[in-house]
Every structure is written in structure tokens, then in C-alpha cells.
Amino acid sequence: MNVSRILRASLALVLAAFLGLLAYSTVESIDSAEEQAYGRDLRRVQAVTSELNERVLKSRSALMIQYDPLVHALHDLQRLHERLKHVPDFLGEDAAFDMQDQLKKSEAQLREKDELVESFKTHNSVLQNSLHFFPILANSVIDRARVAPHGATVASRIQALIAAIMLFDTSADAESSARVQAAQLDLSAEKQAAHALELDHELELILAHSRIILERKPIADRIVQQILAVPLPRMARALEEAYSRHYRSATARALLVRQILFALAFGTVVLGLTDVILRMRRSAQALQVATGELREANAALAREREKERQLGELKTRFVSMTSHEFRTPLSVIVSSTELLENYSERWEAERRMDHLERIRSAARSMDRMLDDILIIGRAEAGVLRPSPAQMNLEEFCRHLVESLEHSSARSHCIRYSFSGDPEVTLDERLLSEVVGNLLSNALKYSPPGSQVHFDVVANDEQCRFEVKDEGIGIPEADIPRLFQSFFRASNADQIKGSGLGLAVVKKALDVQNGTIEVQSSLGAGTQFVVRVPRDLSVSRSSSAEL
Amino acid sequence: MPSNGPVTSSRALLAILLVALTIVTLWGCERHEKFDDSEIVESSSLGDQPIEPLPLTVDFDPARAALGEALFAEPRLSGDSKVACTDCHHEGHGLADDKPHSSVTGRPDSAVNSPTMYNVRFLYKLSWGGKYESLETHIDALMVNPKVMASSWETATKHLAEVADYRRKFASVFADGLTPSNVRLAILDYERSLVTPNSPFDQYLRGNAQAVSPEVKRGYAMFKSYGCSSCHQGVAIGGNLFERFGVLRDFFADRGHFDNADLGRFNVTQRDQDRFVFRVPSLRNVALTAPYFHDGSAATLEEAVTDMANYQLGRDLPERDRSALVAFLRSLTGEYRGQAL
């Protein structure tokens, strides 16, 4: 019972742990769609960044003549960063914090890049316009100057500036820059000539555009370098690395959780199965016990029936025995009475007296038998109770011995001894039934002339009566049934007896809290030892107290 | 059997456990969901032309946009229930102001000319100084600006809630009905719906050579050769970069007076290189939105073109070229809801 309670408690515990972990793992579970989207966004940051760089370079070299692709790339990067801020839940708080931190750094780089691109567009559009328009303008002015008188110098100066600008556009170093400045100075010196040619406005414009190129090309180139140098791709790679690191640990965590879940589920199943098996075994045991009880009940019933049968047998035997036992003295009485009736006048007195004595003896025997039956009946009905009274045990026993010796016509000698305090409190009538029956049996089953020992010891506690004869003895097999009513030992057939004497002894002793022991050897003699409490009133009251 | 009941319940428990085990096993199976990647706009193809036509359709929620259109003309949006968006962005004037500086009751005159609202979704940054990075930040700022709406989304929503019609319309469009967030979303969707495709020049770009006159085609050639397209390019023909007003000549010196608003982007960034720098405006529907420039100093398209050539390119336009350029610019007026503007 205890084991099963522990089992069920642990089952509930394991089940609760299983369900709890299941709920937790559902919350923390890796959403593969979210994971894929996030990973793709991270990779897109790198891809879009390199696209942006490529477009900046294209814009710079006039391969791309609009800025929408630039702003779209920047816009995409901004939106990607915005989206990446929603770090997948399954990474855990620490990872999210780390990612947000990295994202902030990346966003700062993106802002820097955005500002640089803005600056680039501003300078590049002006530069591109000048690079495009300067040669057209310059060549048209050269054409006009050439056809005009005295315009050759102006034309050659413009030509020199074009050459210097073209060289500068190819390699913007200090030398080419100095050459452009020198060409600008040379051309500026021709302002008078240009005025004369009515080309002074155009000359100013040529110079302005050349100044723009001289000034803005290095700026635009520097900004492009700066744009390319913004470590946004590196940030993106770091972000992706951090993400895959966190993702790996999240996966490991999820795997662990799944393993634990599996173990818990397995444990739950095992515990549940054990519980079921234990219950089944217990019910099997209960069935076995019930079967045993049933069998025992059946056996008890059979025993009861056997007892009933024995009782019935006993009754039958009782009736037959009693009728038999009574018939013997009755027939003696009837025959003696008839004889006396017919022949009393003719018979002499002695013979009449003989028959009268027979009648009296038969009647006395019947009376004694009835007494015995009554005692047994009262004992069995539970109404036999001792009436203890002060008595002299020694005296009582002596009278009894004398009376028995007398009735046996002194064919036997009873060796009687007494020791101890003779003053006892016992039921004289019941005691006489016990001792009388034992002594008369001893006389009856012993050959004439043999000795019967009768030793009485009255100590402080109890009285001990020992009756020992040298008679026929009792077969050992008969000893257990010795005290049953009407039971007669198998070797006692030849000797008259009702089979009630020892039953009476036993019943009488039972109500006096007495005991009886028997020792016998067939043909050698029998010894009965009886013990009764010395003071029956005390022992009765004490037992009543109990 | 005396323990029949418990055994049955144990079987039920076993069944539950088996189901749980199955769930755990199935749980491992990967779910494949299509990820919506439509938010990321693919960069346009690198065409040879500096200008690209506007898309013929754009995505927005029509129900929300309809609500937003009503709100655009609704003075209850403002703190004092007196100013509507349309007070500066006139419906009959290309959603721009016909006055150099917007003048609205109870508000100081605007420092700059109110630009058109059409095609705002194609602008990279908003306002003359490029102060706002998105329509969201732009409208959030205007709502609380005491010189503009002097309101808040909460205040506006309270005002709108007094009108049963709005409550009903919002309830039919939004699950949670009339809320500050939904008022904002409706206006944003209206702004995103303000696209004017299919202008004659867009038709020409899409391959319809008959859509524009030879004069327009010549104007477009001028537009490119003069260098206008160095800045006015892309789908919005501008709106994607900042440039100094007066690259080759000093506009402000010629104008004769100086205003704080003339500092342009400097007012946003406080960087010296951003003085007199402005967001290059979109030239879409430019014929409808006079006057021009941040100060509204150019009353006509012709003036604006002349000023641009002068101050940005350092050139004096011959009349012939100017009229061709203006003809080209007039061909940039598109259609709104299928109707030519």
C-alpha cells in the first residue's frame, strides 16, 4: 500500500514535470519559419550592403544615372535592421540582448553610411554634370574662338585646360591638380581676349566647371572611399556569426529539453505501467486470499457438519447406552420383584433379603447413573456451579476411602496418605464426584488384592490428588477420548460401566478450575493426578474479578 | 475484480501518455511557412534613362485610404478643430499650396512653400530640409507641431468620436474601431494611395512614342543635356538627394534678403556643408504646383526653369530651349484614380 502510494506520488510528480516542461518547451520552441526569415534577413544585410557599394561605384563612374537604386538599397537596409530588432524568442533573453547591442552598432554604421551617401549624391550630381557639360561647353567655345580673329590663344588655353582636366579625371594627384590650376590661371589671363571675342561669359562658365571638377572630384572620391570603408559588411557578418552561435546554443538547449521530455515521458509510462501491474498483482492476491478464506469456510462447514454428525451419533449412543444401562438394573428390579411377589411366602428370610438387596442395589445404581447424567447435563447446559465451603480434606478423603473399601467388600486395599493443611474451601459434592469416581474406577479395573495408592497433598495454593492403580491400564489410542461421555476403553468390555464416570470427573473439574493428567501403561496400571485450587471461593472471585 | 475501476483509469492515463509522446515526436517536425518578403522592395533595374515611369498600381488598403481621404479634409484632426491638411495641400492645386507661404487661420504663415502630397511614397526623405525619414515620422511630427495641427492623435480621435459617422466607418474598417492608432493608419494609407501614374511622358517611357509631342521629346533631350537630370532623376524625378540651391551662382544674393528657412538642411543637421542645401523636389505634376522653390519665389514654371538653369547650371536659357523644357515638364502630369489631373 505504501509502495503504491509512493509510486503514484512519483508518477504524478514526473507527469507534472513532463507537462510543465512541455509547456515551457512550446513557448521556447524554435519557430523554423521565424528562424529562416531571421537568418535570411541577416544574410540580406550583407548582400544589400555590397549591392549598395556597387551602385555607389557605378554612380561615381556615371554608369548609373539615377539615385533610386541607392536610396532603395539604403531603405532596404533600414527596414532589415528594423526587422532584425525582433530577435526570435527561442534565442533567449541574453542572446536577444547581445543581438540588440550588435544591431545598435550596425545601425550606427548604417546611419553613417546614409549620411555619406547623401553627401556623395550631392557632390556627385554636381560633379557628373560638370564632367558631362565641361567638354561640350569647352569644345563649343574653342570652335567659336578658332573662327574669330585673335581667338587662337584662347582656344589653345581652353584646349590645355581640357587636357589638364582629362588627366585630372583619370588620376587626381597633386601633379595633375597643379596642372589644372596652372591651366585655369592661363585661361583666366585671357579674359580680356575673351571679352573681345564676346566669350567672357562662356569663359567664366568653363572656369567654374573646371573649378567644380577640381574641387569636387577629390571630395567625391574620398566619400566613395569612406562609404566603402564603413564596416557595415563586417558588422553584418559579426551579427550573423553571433546569431548562428546563439542559434546553435538554442538548438542544443531545445535538444536537451527534448531529451529530458522524452525521459520524463518514458518515466511516466514506466511508472504508470508499474502502477497498473502492481494493482493487477494486488487484485490477484486478494482473489487468492478470498479463495483461501472460502476454502477454509468450506472446511469449517464440513467440520461443523462432522461435529453435528458426531453429536447425533453421541445422542444415539447416549439413548441406546442409557436405555441399555437402565435396562440392566430395571430387569434386576423387575425379576426380583416378580420373584418376591410369587415366592416371598415360600422363601426364607435370607433369600428374600437377598432379592431386596438386589433391588436396592439396582435402584442405587440407576440413581447414581441419573446423578452422573444430571451432572453432565447441567455442566453442558452451563448451570453446574460449585458451592465451596469450609471442609476438612483429610477427613473427607478418609471417609471416602473407608466407604469405598466397605462397598468393595475389602477386596482391594487403598493406601491413603495425606499431607498439608487439611482445612480447605471446596465443593464437597463435586469433589466427591471427582475423587470417588477415580477411586472406584481404580478399584473396578484392578484385579482383586492389588493395591490402589491414593495420595493427597494440600499445599498453600492447591490440592493434589494422585490415584494410582495396578490395573488393566488404558490403551494409548483411547486416552484422548477418555473423558467423553459413554466412552469406554477398548479393553474394558468385560467390566460393567456406564462410560460416564470420567466424563463426570472432567466436567466437575472444569467448573472448579481443576486439571487432570493421566498416565497409563496397558496391563501395568493407571495414574491420575488431579489438581484443584485450595480455596475455590478465592479463585472464583479472583477469576470473576478478572 | 475489485480494482477494475483504477485499472480502467490507468489505461486512460496510458492512452493520454501515448498521445503526449506522439505530440512530442511530431513536435520535432519542421513547419514550413512561406515568409512574406514583399516588404523588401527590389531595387529597380538599371535603365539607361535617368527617369522611370511610376508604377501603374501600388499596394494600399482602399477602405482605409477612403477614410484617410475624409480625414485629410477634416479640421477635427487639429487641436482647435480649425485646420485641415487640405488647408495647405489644396485638392485643386496638385495637393500643394498656391501661395508661396501657407496662411491658415490661427497659425503663423508657413516658413516654406507647402509641397505636393502626390507620390510622397516615392520620396526618400520628406520636407524641404529632409527632416523626416518616413511618412510616419512626418505625420507624427506635424500632428503635434503647434504651428501646424497643434493636436495629438488622442485629441484628434476624441474630436472624431463626436461624429457618429466616423465611429461607424472606423468600426467597419478596423476591428477595434476608432482609435488614435487607426486614425493615423487611415491617413498613412491615403498618403500611400496618392500616386499619379500614366502621365504622357510615362506612356512615352513605356514605349508609346505618340504619347508626347516632338517638342516634349526635345525638351527631354534638353533636360538631360543641360544637366537637369543630374539631380532630377529616378521614378519621382527628384526627391532622392539633397543639393545646394545655387551651385554656380548665388540665388540668395540675387533675391536680396535672407530668411532662416533658406538654411534648408542645415536647420536639420546643423552641419556647415548643409547650408542652403535642400531636398531636390520631385518634378511629377510640377505644372500643377506653382509657385516653386522652398520660398515660392518662382511664380511660374518658366521662371522656375530659368532660375534653375541660371543658379544650378550657370546658364542662360534660350527661349526655344526653355519652352521645350516647360513642355517636357507639363508632360509629367499624371492621372489620379484614372483621371488626368
Per CATH, the homologous superfamily of domain A387-545 is Histidine kinase-like ATPase, C-terminal domain (3.30.565.10)
**pLDDT at B1 > cutoff 60:** no
C-alpha cell at A144: 567659336
pLDDT at A543: 42
Three-state DSSP at A531 gives: strand
Least confident interval from A237-251, A291-305, B196-210, B241-255:
A237-251
Q: What is the mean pLDDT of residues A164-175?
A: 90
C-alpha cell at B96: 500643394
Contact A375, A507 (CB under 8 A): yes
Task: Pick B3's closest partner by Cβ from A76, A78, A282.
Answer: A282
CA distance B152 to B136: 14
CA distance A12 to A320: 75
pLDDT over 70 percentage in chain A: 97
Kindly indicate the confidence band of residue B17, based on its pLDDT and cuts at 50, 70 and 90: low
Could you tell me if B247 lies within 8 Å of chain A, comparing CB atoms? yes
**pLDDT at A69 > cutoff 80:** yes
pLDDT at A161: 94
Could you tell me if B240 lies within 8 Å of chain A, comparing CB atoms? yes
Task: List, by residue range, all CATH 3.30.565.10 domains of chain A.
Answer: 387-545
Task: Pick B124's closest partner by Cβ from A63, A75, A132.
Answer: A75
Q: What is the mean pLDDT of residues B80-94?
A: 92
Nearest to A483 by CA among A463, A464, A509, A465: A509
CATH number of A2-239: 1.20.58
Could you tell me if A79 lies within 8 Å of chain B, comparing CB atoms? yes
Could you tell me if B12 lies within 8 Å of chain A, comparing CB atoms? no
Supply angle C-alpha A379, A381, A387, rounded to 5: 45
CA distance B139 to B77: 12
Q: 282-321 in B: which are within 8 Å (CB) of A?
A: 313-315
Contact A108, A204 (CB under 8 A): no
Q: What is the pLDDT of residues B251-285, one digit of tens each?
A: 999 988 888 999 999 999 999 999 999 999 999 99
How many CB atoms within 10 Å of residue A209? Answer: 27
Q: How far is CA A513 from the centre of its chain?
A: 56
Could you tell me if A5 lies within 8 Å of chain B, comparing CB atoms? no
Domain definitions of chain B by residue range: 62-193, 200-340
Kindly indicate the confidence band of residue B196, based on its pLDDT and cuts at 50, 70 and 90: very high
Q: Please indicate whether the domains covering B62-193 and B200-340 agree at the CATH topology level.
A: yes
C-alpha cell at A294: 472460502
Kindly indicate the confidence band of residue A160, based on its pLDDT and cuts at 50, 70 and 90: very high
C-alpha cell at A348: 426364607
Contact A516, A504 (CB under 8 A): no
Contact A431, A462 (CB under 8 A): no
Q: Which pairing describes strands A451-458 and A413-420: parallel, antiparallel, or unpaired?
A: parallel
**pLDDT at B27 > cutoff 70:** no
Chain A residues with CB-CB distance to B41 below 8 A: 72, 75-76
Could you tell me if A488 lies within 8 Å of chain B, comparing CB atoms? no
pLDDT at B36: 41
Supply angle C-alpha A409, A498, A374, rounded to 5: 105
Q: How many CB pairs below 8 Å do chains A and B form together?
A: 150
Could you tell me if B275 lies within 8 Å of chain A, comparing CB atoms? no
Determine the distance in angstroms separating the CA of A146 from the nearest CA of chain B, rounded to an integer: 22
Kindly indicate the confidence band of residue B213, based on its pLDDT and cuts at 50, 70 and 90: very high
C-alpha cell at A472: 488393566
A132-166 burial by CB neighbour count: b if 16+ within 10 A, else e? Answer: bbbeebbeebbebbeebeebeebbbbbbbbbebbe
Q: What is the mean pLDDT of residues B65-69?
A: 96
pLDDT at B32: 38
Could you tell me if B29 lies within 8 Å of chain A, comparing CB atoms? no
Secondary structure of B105-119 as H, E, C letters:
CCCCCCCCCCCCCCC
Summary mean pLDDT of chain B: 87
CA distance B262 to B278: 9
* Substitution target from A34, A66, A77, A126 for chain B, most B beta carbons within 10 A: A66
Q: What is the mean pLDDT of residues A141-159?
A: 88
Kindly indicate the confidence band of residue B12, based on its pLDDT and cuts at 50, 70 and 90: low
Q: A22, B133: Cβ pair inside 8 Å?
A: no
pLDDT over 90 percentage in chain A: 32
pLDDT at B31: 40
C-alpha cell at A497: 460401566
Rounded to 5 degrees, φ, ψ at B110 are -70, 145
ipTM more than 0.85?
no
Could you tell me if B2 lies within 8 Å of chain A, comparing CB atoms? yes
Kindly indicate the confidence band of residue A460, based on its pLDDT and cuts at 50, 70 and 90: confident
Nearest to A506 by CA among A446, A416, A414, A438: A438
Task: Pick A67's closest partner by Cβ from B3, B11, B233.
Answer: B233
CA distance A414 to A412: 6
Chain A residues with CB-CB distance to B40 below 8 A: 44, 76, 79-80
Could you tell me if A67 lies within 8 Å of chain B, comparing CB atoms? yes
Q: What is the mean pLDDT of residues A309-331?
A: 76
Could you tell me if B44 lies within 8 Å of chain A, comparing CB atoms? yes
Nearest to B194 by CA among B93, B330, B332, B58: B58
Determine the distance in angstroms separating the CA of B167 from the nearest CA of chain A, rounded to an integer: 33
**pLDDT at A387 > cutoff 90:** no
Three-state DSSP at A424 gives: strand
* Substitution target from B49, B52, B241, B313 for chain A, most A beta carbons within 10 A: B241
Q: What is the pLDDT of residues A422-453, one digit of tens each?
A: 899 888 888 888 888 888 888 888 888 888 99
Q: What is the mean pLDDT of residues A113-128?
A: 94
Kindly indicate the confidence band of residue B20, based on its pLDDT and cuts at 50, 70 and 90: low
Q: 86-105 in B: which are within 8 Å (CB) of A?
A: none
C-alpha cell at A540: 472464583
Which neighbouring-strand residues pair with A526?
Answer: A520
Could you tell me if A369 lies within 8 Å of chain B, comparing CB atoms? no
Per CATH, the homologous superfamily of domain B200-340 is Cytochrome c-like domain (1.10.760.10)
Chain B residues with CB-CB distance to A77 below 8 A: none
**pLDDT at A299 > cutoff 70:** yes
CA distance B337 to B341: 9
B123-148 burial by CB neighbour count: b if 16+ within 10 A, else e? Answer: bbbbbbbbbbebbeebbeebbeeeeb
pLDDT at A190: 87
Could you tell me if A487 lies within 8 Å of chain B, comparing CB atoms? no
**pLDDT at B120 > cutoff 50:** yes
Could you tell me if A265 lies within 8 Å of chain B, comparing CB atoms? yes
Could you tell me if A368 lies within 8 Å of chain B, comparing CB atoms? no
pLDDT at A1: 55
Find the DSSP H helices in A344-454. 349-381, 393-407, 428-444
Least confident interval from A293-307, A368-382, A461-475, B173-187:
A368-382
Contact A83, B38 (CB under 8 A): no
Least confident interval from A221-230, A486-495, B238-247:
A486-495
pLDDT at A127: 93
The DSSP output letter for B309 is I
C-alpha cell at B323: 519652352
Chain A residues with CB-CB distance to B21 below 8 A: 265, 269
Contact B143, B180 (CB under 8 A): no
Highest mean pLDDT among A179-188, A331-340, A409-418: A179-188
Kindly indicate the confidence band of residue B39, based on its pLDDT and cuts at 50, 70 and 90: very low
Contact A226, A29 (CB under 8 A): no
Least confident interval from A172-186, A263-277, A341-355:
A341-355
Chain A residues with CB-CB distance to B27 below 8 A: 25-26, 29, 258
A98-107 burial by CB neighbour count: b if 16+ within 10 A, else e? Answer: bbeebbeebb
Q: A68, B13: Cβ pair inside 8 Å?
A: no
Determine the distance in angstroms separating the CA of A69 from the nearest CA of chain B, rounded to an integer: 5
C-alpha cell at B87: 488647408
Kindly indicate the confidence band of residue A31, based on its pLDDT and cuts at 50, 70 and 90: confident
Kindly indicate the confidence band of residue B11, based on its pLDDT and cuts at 50, 70 and 90: low
Nearest to B131 by CA among B272, B269, B273, B236: B269
Determine the distance in angstroms separating the CA of B105 from the nearest CA of chain A, rounded to an integer: 37
Q: What is the mean pLDDT of residues A321-335?
A: 79
**pLDDT at A479 > cutoff 60:** yes
Three-state DSSP at A484 gives: coil
Q: What architecture (CATH level 2) is domain B62-193?
A: Orthogonal Bundle (1.10)
Amino acid letter, A197: L
Nearest to A385 by CA among A423, A432, A430: A430
Summary mean pLDDT of chain A: 86
Q: 127-156 in A: which are within 8 Å (CB) of B?
A: 128-129, 132-133, 136
Contact A254, A22 (CB under 8 A): no
Q: Is the pTM of this model over 0.90?
A: no
Could you tell me if B16 lies within 8 Å of chain A, comparing CB atoms? no
Q: What is the pLDDT of residues A514-525, one digit of tens each?
A: 999 999 888 888
Which neighbouring-strand residues pair with A462?
Answer: A533
How many CB atoms within 10 Å of residue A439? Answer: 27
**pLDDT at B94 > cutoff 50:** yes
Q: What is the mean pLDDT of residues B297-322?
A: 93
Q: 171-190 in B: which are within 8 Å (CB) of A?
A: none
Could you tell me if B221 lies within 8 Å of chain A, comparing CB atoms? no
Contact A268, B17 (CB under 8 A): yes
Contact B190, B139 (CB under 8 A): no
C-alpha cell at A279: 494493482
| CB half-sphere exposure, B46, CA atoms < 13 A | 13
Could you tell me if B243 lies within 8 Å of chain A, comparing CB atoms? yes
pLDDT over 90 percentage in chain B: 76
Q: Which pairing describes strands A451-458 and A515-521: parallel, antiparallel, or unpaired?
A: unpaired
The more confident residue out of A539 and A251 is A251
Chain A residues with CB-CB distance to B227 below 8 A: 129, 132-133
| CB half-sphere exposure, B242, CA atoms < 13 A | 26
**pLDDT at A28 > cutoff 70:** no
Task: Pick A129's closest partner by Cβ from B24, B49, B230.
Answer: B230
Q: A280, B44: Cβ pair inside 8 Å?
A: no
As to burial, measured by CB atoms within 10 angstroms (0-12 exposed, 13-18 middle, 19+ buried), residue A171 is exposed
Kindly indicate the confidence band of residue B2, based on its pLDDT and cuts at 50, 70 and 90: very low
Could you tell me if B74 lies within 8 Å of chain A, comparing CB atoms? no
CA distance A15 to A85: 37
CA distance A223 to A117: 8
CA distance B340 to B334: 6
Size (chain B), residues: 341
A315-384: which CATH topology? Helix Hairpins (1.10.287)
As to burial, measured by CB atoms within 10 angstroms (0-12 exposed, 13-18 middle, 19+ buried), residue A323 is exposed
**pLDDT at A56 > cutoff 50:** yes
**pLDDT at A148 > cutoff 60:** yes
Q: How far does chain B reach from its first CA to its final CA, in angstroms?
A: 91
